[in-house]
């Protein structure tokens, strides 16, 4: 009886274990109809029977984005496979759902139901999915035949039990945390040769290999390679057609039973074998490479016909003590992305024949820095021989095209930007002359002129006014009392206005209509016109005179009083380098005027859409400035502000071409504890977010959308809508740029501009950020804080989806 009771109790208690041991694990088997949701926690993945591998959603930082991937369940930061779409990782926003279907295989949908990715199948109907202990996820038919598997679609990692057939390949990442396809490739060629080579992104064109096994057809019949094998014991070899082996590596004294083993094509171009103990406590790391190829200096191995090299353009490749490459920028250059030193360097100055002519004599512009045994062998455009070192230096110095000259063996090689395949080679016995701008002259704002006596007097007046208005509570109290007393005597016969009639700011000055009419010479010089008024240039007689822009609001316009009060309240309380400053106002009878600082370089629209194309670097800085200004309005000032009409005409440029956002007349105010509001449609055609037309809540995401359009205009130097051109497919800028991005044709976006193409990383990043901003679904758009972080390279930019998947 006791035995029977014990058995019954054991059976009963085992029922409580079924959800864990059977339903959750189920020997790695996943039934058709099963799903996983992109979120943190165990519900986001399917485990292999041993629990070694997990398949599902791996979080990407803290931005509610997830990578569809396979990883070591006990080492979650080590991803061994991820889904690809057009060479980009498949990234899903939180709440996306992965379904296992009978006809489509794995199908990933975003929270709105739109399809992000589908595995597909070779043929047949899926009966079950299996997450195996090898790290392979397989879709099987009723006969357990493989219809699709991750091992047949590898990324950058090769696992024991995996094989690569002819024309199969591994592709590196762009960086440790950026899963986008990188420029290195491990490939078993059609002739049976296993090679490492670079590719010319965004195409798959392969350069000559920098490592190969030479397993092609030789004197012995059948000696060419048939497949690359990584067996379960940790041996890796090329299996020949005749059954022979070309051994790459054995297990290196590491037990495959007690250790995880993986081989990866790393983002620096090294193919390496690593191990990690299965039973570990604490923070055990992956081993140093047990084996790697190439085993000689990869900086020297990548030569002229092998692509850009390890370190990208304008950089220098060097080997570290562990024989891994690292990258440095020569003096006068800095990393395109400080978080990814392998992307290359950019000059900290603008060099060009026209720029040099405008700046003056070269001896006043450039210094020459001398290096030894440093070369960029693929960037020559002139070879001079016989020559001397001094002549080589002088020839490059006087040549506006020359960036670097290398002298050795009575020969001078002159080189132009961008410089490629930079390396240090002690065998060269050479001198390298690099031209560097003195004090980075072209990137610094011009020096402010030394004020004359009148200017000093004017500055003194302004300083006194500033002190009176902002430095002392006591003085402010006295001044306020005096102003109130003056107003009392001046307007004592007029009815007292309610305190709710107008919102005043103690930092704003009240002007009379007569003062402003005289300052603008009778409103004679018009600067611009908008829906709510006309802007005139004026000079306020303070000292030697201060130039201002006076916005005269149209009294006949509906809601002008409300508009006027909104501008006073909003602008008067904002202080940021990327916002236009409001000096004061006029509220006299029916007249409503605002007095702004005058910015002499005009609007961004006139700057971008003129006959002379602004430099790429200027445009980048302007984009940063606009983003910073919007971030301040949305998150950093005391009252959250939606601008509602971001466009190039409402962005001004100061003396140093710093972007300053203007015209808050259409701003919608939100309290800090509010997130959305409803209002009538506002804004300008071409920049208006879709939710304005769909009666959806209006949030700060409308400004994000408008910024995305403006960012594309800054990149392309063209208007968002151009119906006058001959090419219909280019008429709508947002559609055309996305098509170019998908097709890998960003050269056309910047019209093959040399400076922009030399900074391709930034170009691609800015385009991707813009596409995220113009998503029709507001929930997919990033906040301006995230936009700024992506532009600055603080966080990675995920691959954006089609911005308007339902309307195109």
The tokens describing 662, both together, are 């203007």
Same domain, 615 and 679: yes
Using alpha carbons, select from 68, 67, 54 the residue that is nearest to residue 25: 54
Of 114-128, 588-602, 732-746, least confident by mean pLDDT is 588-602
- Number of Cα atoms under 13 Å in the Cβ half of residue 450: 0
In a domain, 383, yes or no: yes
Counting every residue, how long is the chain? 808
Cα(772)–Cα(781) distance, integer angstroms: 6
The set of long-range contacts for 390-398, using a CB threshold of 8 Å and a minimum separation of 24, is 392/431, 392/433, 393/368, 393/433, 396/433, 396/435, 397/362, 397/366, 397/368, 397/433, 397/435, 398/362
Does position 571 have pLDDT exceeding 80, yes or no?
no
For residue 571, give its domain range: 519-598
Q: What are phi and psi of 496, to 5 degrees?
A: -75, 130
User: Is there a single domain that holds both residue 747 and residue 609?
Assistant: yes
Q: Backbone phi, then psi, for 291, in 5-degree steps?
A: -165, 145
At 425-443, the pLDDT tens digits run 888 889 999 988 876 444 4
Nearest CA to 713 among 803, 793, 604?
604
DSSP 581: P
Measured distance CA(134)–CA(646) in Å, rounded? 53
My answer on whether 528 and 614 are in the same domain is no
Per-residue pLDDT, 590: 78
Q: Is the dihedral of CA 179, 183, 184, 185 positive or negative?
A: positive
pLDDT at 745 over 70: yes
Q: Domain holding 587: CATH number?
A: 3.30.200.20
Compute the average pLDDT of residues 5-15.
40
Phi, psi of 66 (to 5 degrees): -135, 145
> In this structure, what are the phi and psi dihedrals at residue 34, rounded to the nearest 5 degrees?
-70, 155
pLDDT score for 478: 46
Tell me what pLDDT residue 462 has: 36
Question: 567, 598, 629 — which closes off a domain?
Answer: 598
In angstroms, how far is the first alpha carbon of the chain from the final one?
A: 74
Task: Sort strands 431-437 and 546-553 into parallel, antiparallel or unpaired.
Answer: unpaired
* pLDDT higher at 669 or 228: 228
- Looking at the fold, whether 756 and 645 belong to one and the same domain comes out as yes
User: Which tokens in the block code for residue 159?
Assistant: 């696992």
The pLDDT mean for the chain works out to 80
Look at the block and give the residue holding tokens 């007097």: 457
Catalytic-role residue among 375, 587, 645, 703? 645
Helix 616-631 to helix 760-773 angle, to the nearest 10 degrees?
Answer: 40
Q: Which three-class secondary structure state does DSSP give residue 96?
A: coil
Known binding-site residues equal 552
Q: Which residues pair with 206 in a beta bridge?
A: 199
**How far from 543 is each of 128, 456, 466, 599, 600, CA to CA, in Å?**
84, 9, 14, 19, 20
Distance CA 313, CA 755 (A): 13
- What pLDDT does 635 receive? 84
- Asked whether the predicted pLDDT for residue 351 surpasses 90, the reply is no
Task: Indicate the SS3 state at residue 728.
Answer: helix
Tell me the pairing of strands 533-540 and 546-553.
antiparallel
DSSP 8-class letter at 450:
P
Q: How many CB atoms lie under 10 A from the CB of residue 292?
A: 19
**What share of the chain in percent tops pLDDT 90?**
36
Q: By three-state DSSP, how is residue 482 classified?
A: helix
Asked if pLDDT for residue 552 goes beyond 70, the answer is yes
| Residues 556 and 620 reside in one and the same domain | no
| CA–CA distance, 344 with 680 (Å, rounded to integer) | 48
Partners of 31 in beta bridges: 128
Per-residue pLDDT band for 531 (boundaries 50, 70, 90) equals low
Euclidean distance between CA atoms 242 and 484, whole angstroms: 102
Give a yes or no: residue 145 inside a domain. yes
Q: Identify the band that residue 452 occupies on the pLDDT scale cut at 50, 70 and 90.
A: very low
* The pLDDT of residue 439: 60
Q: What is the DSSP string of 4-37?
A: HHHHHHHHHHHHTTHIIIIII-GGGEEETT-EEE
Domain boundary at 122, 153, 184, which?
A: 153
CA distance 268 to 1: 69
Provide the pLDDT for residue 715.
95
**CATH label of the domain that carries residue 615:** 1.10.510.10
Residue 193 confidence (pLDDT): 94
The Cα-based distances of 775 to 433, 446, 769 in angstroms read 48, 39, 10
**Do residues 536 and 413 share a domain?**
no
Does residue 404 lie within any of the structural domains? yes
Contact in structure between 402 and 415 (CB atoms under 8 Å)? yes
pLDDT of 574 reads 74
Residue 65 resides in a domain: yes
Same domain for 700 and 781: yes
DSSP symbol at 1: -
Residues 246-275: what's their mean pLDDT? 89
Instruction: Give the pair of three-digit tokens for residue 266.
Output: 């790393």
Sequence-separated (6 or more) residues with CB below 8 Å from residue 537: 520, 525, 526, 527, 547, 548, 549, 550, 598
Confidence of residue 542 (pLDDT cuts 50, 70, 90): low
Contact 614, 715 (CB under 8 A): no
402/406 Cα distance (integer angstroms): 11
CATH code where residue 137 lies: 2.90.10.10
pLDDT at 250: 79
Residue closest to 561 by CA, chosen among 505, 503, 509, 491 = 503
Strand partners, 65: 93
- Helices and strands of the chain, counted as H and E runs: 18, 48
- What is the signed CA dihedral for 141, 147, 152, 153, rounded to 10 degrees? -120
Q: How far is CA 424 from CA 325, 342, 503, 773, in A?
A: 12, 16, 66, 42
Please indicate, yes or no, whether residues 610 and 542 belong to a single structural domain of this protein.
Answer: no
Cα dihedral 625, 631, 636, 639 sign: positive
β-bridge mates for residue 437, sequence order: 366
User: What is the C-alpha separation between 653 and 603, in angstroms, rounded?
Assistant: 6
Residue ranges for the known binding site for ATP are 552
Rg of the chain in Å (alpha carbons): 33
151-197 tens-digit pLDDT: 999 999 999 999 999 999 999 998 888 898 888 999 999 999 999 99
Q: Is residue 461 part of a domain?
A: no
Cα angle 610, 611, 615 (rounded to 5 degrees) comes to 80
- Tell me the pairing of strands 423-424 and 380-384: unpaired
Greatest mean pLDDT among 258-267, 458-467, 579-588 lies in 258-267
Do the domain assignments include residue 59? yes
pLDDT digits (tens, 9 = 90+) for 388-427: 999 999 999 888 889 999 999 999 999 988 888 898 888 8
Better-predicted residue by pLDDT, 366 or 43:
366
Q: Do 786 and 748 lie in a common domain?
A: yes
CA distance to 268, 576, 604, 634, per residue, from 627 (Å) = 33, 12, 14, 11
Respond yes or no on whether the N-terminal peptide bond of residue 479 is cis (omega within 30° of 0).
no
Residues 776 and 690 occupy one common structural domain = yes
Domain limit, last residue, from 443, 473, 503: 443
Determine whether 645 is an active site residue. Answer: yes
Nearest to 163 by CA among 258, 247, 237: 237
Give the pLDDT of residue 16.
Answer: 37
Q: Would you state the pLDDT for residue 537?
A: 92
- 620: in domain: yes
Q: What DSSP designation does 267 have?
A: T
Peptide bond into 226 cis (omega under 30): no
Q: Which of 216-230, 430-444, 454-468 has the lowest mean pLDDT?
A: 454-468
Cis peptide before 526 (omega within 30 of 0): no
pLDDT tens profile 753-796: 888 888 889 999 999 999 999 999 898 999 999 999 999 888 88
d(CA 339, CA 240): 42
Quick check: 499 pLDDT over 50? Answer: no
Residues 450-460: b if buried by 16+ CB within 10 A, e if exposed: eeeeeeeebee
Asked whether residue 126 is domain-assigned, the answer is: yes
Rounded alpha-carbon distances, angstroms, from residue 87 to 201, 740, 746: 10, 15, 16
pLDDT tens-digit map of 594-628: 888 888 888 999 899 887 888 898 999 999 999 99
* Distance of alpha carbon 55 from alpha carbon 53, whole angstroms: 7
**What pLDDT, in 10s, does the model give residues 673-731?**
334 443 444 555 678 888 877 777 778 899 999 999 999 999 999 888 876 655 666 77
CB 180 within 8 A of CB 173: yes
Count of domains for the chain:
4
H-helix or E-strand containing 194? strand 194-198
Quick check: 770 and 711 in contact, CB under 8 A? Answer: yes
Per-residue pLDDT of 357-378, as tens digits, reads 655 566 677 889 999 989 998 8
> Are residues 435 and 569 both part of a single domain?
no
Give residue-wise pLDDT tens across range 306-333.
567 788 889 999 888 888 899 999 988 8
- Pairing type for strands 509-510 and 582-588 reads parallel
491: confidence class by pLDDT, cuts 50, 70, 90: very low
Q: Are residues 616 and 742 in the same domain?
A: yes
3-state secondary structure of 655: coil
Burial class (CB in 10 A: 0-12, 13-18, 19+), 343: buried
Q: Which residue has the tokens 């990407």?
A: 60
Alpha carbon distance 430, 372 (integer Å): 6
737/678: higher pLDDT: 737
Q: If we measure between CA atoms, which residue out of 575, 599, 583 comes closest to residue 515? A: 583
DSSP 499: T
């Amino acid at each position: 009886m006791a035995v029977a009771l014990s058995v019954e109790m054991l059976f009963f208690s085992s029922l409580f274990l079924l959800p864990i041991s059977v339903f959750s694990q189920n020997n790695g088997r996943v039934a058709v109809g099963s799903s996983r949701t992109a979120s943190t926690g165990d519900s986001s993945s399917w485990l292999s029977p041993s629990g070694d591998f997990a398949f599902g959603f791996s979080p990407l930082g803290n931005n509610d984005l997830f990578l569809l991937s396979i990883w070591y369940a006990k080492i979650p930061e080590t991803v061994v496979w991820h889904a690809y779409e057009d060479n980009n990782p498949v990234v899903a926003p939180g709440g996306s759902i992965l379904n296992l279907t009978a006809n489509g295989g794995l199908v990933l949908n975003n929270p709105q139901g739109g399809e992000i990715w589908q595995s597909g199948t070779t043929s047949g109907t899926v009966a079950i999915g299996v997450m195996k202990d090898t790290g392979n996820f397989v879709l099987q038919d009723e006969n357990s035949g493989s219809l699709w598997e991750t091992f047949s679609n590898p990324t950058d990692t090769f696992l024991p039990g995996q094989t690569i057939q002819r024309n199969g390949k591994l592709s590196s990442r762009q960086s440790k945390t950026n899963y986008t396809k990188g420029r290195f490739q491990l490939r078993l060629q059609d002739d049976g040769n296993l090679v490492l080579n670079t590719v010319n992104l965004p195409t798959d064109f392969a350069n000559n290999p920098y490592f190969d096994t030479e397993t092609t057809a030789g004197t012995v019949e059948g000696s060419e390679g048939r497949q690359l094998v990584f067996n379960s014991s940790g041996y890796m070899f090329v299996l020949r057609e005749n059954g022979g082996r070309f051994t790459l590596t054995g297990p290196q004294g590491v037990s495959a039973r007690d250790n995880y083993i993986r081989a990866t094509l790393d983002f620096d171009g090294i193919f390496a074998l690593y191990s990690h103990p299965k039973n570990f406590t604490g923070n055990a790391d992956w081993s140093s490479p047990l084996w790697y190829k190439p085993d000689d200096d990869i900086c020297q191995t990548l030569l002229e016909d092998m692509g850009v090299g390890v370190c990208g353009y304008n950089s220098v490749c060097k080997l570290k003590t562990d024989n891994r490459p690292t990258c440095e920028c020569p003096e006068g250059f800095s990393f395109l992305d400080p978080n990814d030193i392998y992307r290359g360097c950019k000059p900290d100055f603008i060099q060009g024949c026209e720029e040099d002519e405008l700046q003056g004599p070269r001896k006043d512009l450039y210094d020459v820095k001398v290096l030894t045994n440093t070369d960029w062998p693929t960037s020559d455009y002139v070879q001079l021989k016989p020559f001397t070192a001094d002549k080589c230096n002088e020839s490059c110095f006087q040549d506006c095209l020359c960036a670097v000259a290398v002298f050795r063996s009575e020969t001078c090689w002159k080189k132009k930007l961008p410089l490629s395949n930079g390396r240090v080679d002690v065998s060269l016995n050479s001198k390298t002359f690099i031209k560097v701008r003195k004090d980075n002259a072209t990137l610094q704002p011009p020096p402010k002129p030394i004020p004359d006596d009148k200017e000093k007097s004017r500055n003194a007046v302004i300083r006194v006014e500033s002190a009176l208005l902002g430095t002392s509570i006591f003085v402010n109290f006295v001044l306020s009392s005096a102003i109130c007393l003056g107003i009392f005597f001046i307007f004592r016969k007029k009815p007292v206005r309610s305190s709710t009639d107008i919102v005043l700011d103690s930092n704003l000055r009240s002007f009379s209509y007569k003062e402003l009419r005289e300052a603008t010479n009778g409103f004679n010089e018009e600067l611009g016109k908008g829906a709510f008024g006309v802007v005139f240039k004026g000079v306020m007689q303070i000292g030697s005179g201060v130039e201002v822009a006076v916005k005269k609001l149209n009294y006949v316009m509906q809601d002008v009083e409300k508009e006027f009060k909104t501008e006073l309240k909003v602008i008067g309380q904002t202080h940021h380098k990327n916002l236009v400053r409001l000096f004061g106002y006029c509220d006299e009878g029916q007249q409503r005027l605002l007095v702004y600082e005058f910015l002499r370089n005009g609007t961004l629209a006139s700057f971008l859409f003129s006959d002379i194309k602004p430099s790429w670097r200027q445009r980048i800085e302007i984009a940063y400035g606009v983003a910073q200004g919007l971030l301040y309005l949305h998150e950093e000032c005391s009252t959250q502000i939606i601008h509602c009409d971001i466009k190039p005409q409402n962005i001004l440029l100061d003396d140093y071409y710093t972007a300053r956002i203007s015209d808050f007349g259409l701003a919608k105010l939100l309290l800090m504890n509010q997130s959305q509001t409803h209002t009538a449609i506002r804004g300008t055609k071409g920049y208006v977010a879709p939710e304005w037309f769909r009666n959806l809540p209006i949030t700060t995401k409308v400004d994000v959308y408008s910024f995305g359009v403006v960012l594309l205009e800054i990149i392309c130097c063209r208007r968002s809508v151009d119906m006058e051109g001959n090419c219909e497919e280019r008429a709508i800028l947002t559609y055309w740029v996305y098509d170019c991005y998908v097709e890998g044709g960003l050269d056309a976006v910047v019209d093959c501009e040399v400076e922009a193409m030399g900074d391709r990383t930034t170009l691609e990043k800015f385009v991707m950020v813009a596409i995220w901003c113009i998503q029709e679904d507001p929930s997919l758009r990033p906040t301006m804080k995230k936009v700024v972080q992506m532009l600055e390279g603080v966080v990675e930019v995920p691959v954006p989806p089609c911005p308007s998947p339902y309307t195109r």
